[in-house]
Structure 1
Amino acid sequence: MKNHIDRPITLGEFIIENQKDFEYAQGELTALLSSFRLAGKMVNQAINRAGLSNIIGKTGNENVQGEHQAKLDVMANEVFINTLRNRGVVSGIVSEEEEDFISFDNEINDSSKYVVLMDPLDGSSNIDANITVGTIFSIYRRVSKPGTPVKREDFLQAGTKQVAAGYLTYGSSTILVYTTGSGVNGFTFDPGIGSFFLSHKDIRFPNAGYTYSINEGNYGHFPKGIKKFIKWAQRIEKNGTRPLTARYTGSLVADIHRNMLFGGIYLYPQGTSAPNGKLRLLYEANPIAFLTEQAGGKASDGINRIMEIVPKDIHQRVPFLCGTKSLVELVEKFIKEV
């Protein structure tokens, strides 16, 4: 009798086996996600060698957001743009690091039905401290006619129109998490083999959450409803415990990934130094909201469902709450009461 050795399934195998879950599956999904897989490997290698390759620290420049660019911001942006362009699978992109959308004007890319919006390196201010950073991406089916250059309206779509979204985390291990609207799955990179393997199948937010992630240094500027929630989270119970524990890294993907696995809520409200909130709707809030809802959680701006907001600008900012459904609804209740 032959012995069979079980092995984990690779990302490529998983995508092919689940093509039926992608409404427009004609091989494009495989190519798109393969682009992020390849670029993620390259960024992972660069981050692991950053201290040896003289690519830590700042460039001395600011991006369109007015934020100081890290050298790895620039590197990651170039890697993802070049990989997506060279694969010929998208007709254009929006990046946090670029002032306007980029159109890949050539016959192959113009014929693509898809556009990508991304934050190439989320949490880059943490790089020099060796704290987990990540990449966030969102994929849409374009509204303009394939075969022509992309237009602004191809990117200015509500989050409900996303066909896929995901993120990569670069930390103690490199993990790619994505959804196409049929659940959320995570794949861990094995550097020895050079492949991503399924490690987190059908990720779901736990029914109860135990952590909250917010930059409490901005407490004095928070709306009253947010302050009320924080006071609730910090109150001392009769048994000496508190309802929630604070966990905040300043890296969106790191906080979201932890909360998705163990239960919790992430908050970046309005009323901080950014009057409309700090996170960008199209390439941070929307993809994370899509993943959150597919994992059984909830995402809102405190009043409205994030994915129903119709964007007006490619770098539009929004207040953002997401995580365990009961906690998000509690914050919404506090906001409504004041």
Structure 2
Amino acid sequence: MSSASLEIGSSLDACLAQAVAADGTLADVAKVIAACAAAAIAVSEVIGRGALAGDLAAQGEQNSDGDVQKFLDVLAHERFTEALRGAPVAEVASEEAEGVMLLNAGAPLAVAIDPLDGSSNIGVNMAVGTIFGIRPTASSPENPLGSFTGPGTLQLAAGFVTYGPATSFVLTLGDGTQIYTLDREQRSFRLTHPRIEVVAAAKEYAINASNARHWDTPVKAFIEDCLRGAEGPLDKDFNMRWLGSLVADAQRVLLRGGVFLYPGDNRKGYAQGRLRLLYEAAPIAMLMEQAGAGAIDGERRILDIGATGIHERVPLIFGSMDDVACVAKYYGGRNAAAGRSPLFGQRGLMRG
């Protein structure tokens, strides 16, 4: 969907129709996006009622990740699954399901989705979201996971929804990244940001600093140098932001720049971080790259990584291109100035 001719205020439906008129191969993808938008509006209305809608943070069973599902996790999963069942979707890989869900046999598309990102924020009225990536169907009896094991470059579209003070629908069809905002009176998403261009560098980073003692040396050294500010080798003062919701942090990066880090660390079960490749990292990476930003696992481009299972984890670092490249230097051990302070009790990357 070329952003050059998109008009601010246009409905998502109108923009999708325009994209299909320019490229008929997007017709099925547009139907899936419309289904996701409809489900997002329904979920947004429930979230908007807060405690008036009941205890949205009430705990239930465990999901595929072993985390305890909250009422809103289940509701979002059901709303999106129901919507996708009415779209040309053959298979769905959801965080809330153990295996691949079969919807419409023979349909051309597959969807990887995290129906509700940021579950820990539900009970405290902070931002949560939905993340999805759309891929061509490629499964077979010999390879039942075929639709989901290819690299992120196979994604035809990706998006996320942020349920915050306003509900935003962030979308790419492979030609730029746009943001649509929910018009609550009209119950439709309207274009507010036709083409996002992430600044090359900024003075913000996002990381869960409570895990500092578990980080590997490259991450410790990078954050140490951020904390040293203008007196350190990065030559500028930083602010730290951490919202506990991937979509909220991603939207901030899209609009203000900076870098987000969720690395692997030394805790049991955290060697590859906690974010899932298929329905978190890959869609976010596509959106970032289409906005001129970068996304890596520390050394590899996220979109080049193929999954071996639908719930596979991956370290994720994304944001302004220069900032992501800077982090990559720490992983490569090429930043001779890194880690000279004893702040974390670690020797620098390039010091014996």
Q: TM-score, normalised by structure 1?
A: 0.91
Match in the other structure for 1:325: 321
Matched residue SS, 2:330: helix
What's the CA shift string for 1:64-104, capped at 9, x where partnerless? 1111211100100000001111x132011000011101012
Match in the other structure for 2:337: none
The answer to whether the 8 Å contact 2:151/2:304 transfers is yes
> Structure 1 residues 7, 198: CA separation in 2 closer, same or farther (over 3 Å shift)?
closer
Query: What code does the residue aligned with 1:12 have?
Result: D
> Structure 1 residues 22, 95: CA separation in 2 closer, same or farther (over 3 Å shift)?
farther
Match in the other structure for 2:265: 271
Match in the other structure for 2:153: 160
Equivalence map 1:138-217=2 (5 Å) = 138-144=133-139, 151-217=144-210
The answer to whether the 8 Å contact 1:22/1:180 transfers is no
Query: What code does the residue aligned with 2:131 have?
Result: I
1:297 corresponds, among 287, 293, 296, to 293
Matched residue SS, 2:39: helix
What's the CA shift string for 1:110-166, capped at 9, x where partnerless? 231000000000001101111111000000011247xx9993111212101000000
Does 2:250 match 1:256? Answer: yes
> Structure 1 residues 242, 332: CA separation in 2 closer, same or farther (over 3 Å shift)?
same
Equivalence map 1:1-338=2 (5 Å) = 8-19=9-20, 24-25=25-26, 27-85=27-85, 87-104=86-103, 109-144=104-139, 151-237=144-230, 242-273=236-267, 274-337=270-333, 338=349
| Inter-partner Cα distance in structure 2 for 1:128 and 1:17 | 39
| Inter-partner Cα distance in structure 2 for 1:318 and 1:134 | 19
| Inter-partner Cα distance in structure 1 for 2:222 and 2:8 | 45
| Inter-partner Cα distance in structure 2 for 1:102 and 1:321 | 29
The answer to whether the 8 Å contact 2:8/2:193 transfers is no
The answer to whether the 8 Å contact 2:32/2:87 transfers is no
Taking only aligned residues, the RMSD between alpha carbons, in angstroms, comes to: 2.0
TM-fit CA distance, 1:21: 6.2
| Inter-partner Cα distance in structure 2 for 1:160 and 1:237 | 38
TM-fit CA distance, 1:62: 1.7
| Inter-partner Cα distance in structure 1 for 2:142 and 2:74 | 25
The answer to whether the 8 Å contact 2:294/2:324 transfers is yes
Structure 1 spans left out of the alignment, 5+ residues = 1-5
Q: TM-score, normalised by structure 2?
A: 0.88
TM-fit CA distance, 1:180: 1.0
Matched residue SS, 1:317: coil
| Inter-partner Cα distance in structure 2 for 1:139 and 1:178 | 11
> Structure 1 residues 150, 17: CA separation in 2 closer, same or farther (over 3 Å shift)?
farther
TM-fit CA distance, 1:314: 0.6
TM-fit CA distance, 1:61: 2.2
Matched residue SS, 1:34: helix
Query: What code does the residue aligned with 1:55 have?
Result: D
What's the CA shift string for 1:224-243, capped at 9, x where partnerless? 1111110111114269x953
Query: What code does the residue aligned with 1:174 have?
Result: T
Match in the other structure for 1:3: none
The answer to whether the 8 Å contact 1:92/1:150 transfers is no
The answer to whether the 8 Å contact 2:94/2:113 transfers is yes
TM-fit CA distance, 1:24: 2.3
| Inter-partner Cα distance in structure 2 for 1:264 and 1:197 | 26
| Inter-partner Cα distance in structure 1 for 2:230 and 2:300 | 31
Matched residue SS, 1:237: helix
> Structure 1 residues 21, 69: CA separation in 2 closer, same or farther (over 3 Å shift)?
farther
What's the CA shift string for 1:184-236, capped at 9, x where partnerless? 01100010111111001101111221210100000001111111110111114
Matched residue SS, 1:204: coil
> Structure 1 residues 236, 141: CA separation in 2 closer, same or farther (over 3 Å shift)?
closer
Query: What code does the residue aligned with 2:300 have?
Result: N
> Structure 1 residues 144, 270: CA separation in 2 closer, same or farther (over 3 Å shift)?
closer
| Inter-partner Cα distance in structure 1 for 2:143 and 2:25 | 19
Query: What code does the residue aligned with 2:306 have?
Result: V
Query: What code does the residue aligned with 1:34 have?
Result: A
What's the CA shift string for 1:295-315, capped at 9, x where partnerless? 001111101111111211110
Query: What code does the residue aligned with 1:135 have?
Result: T
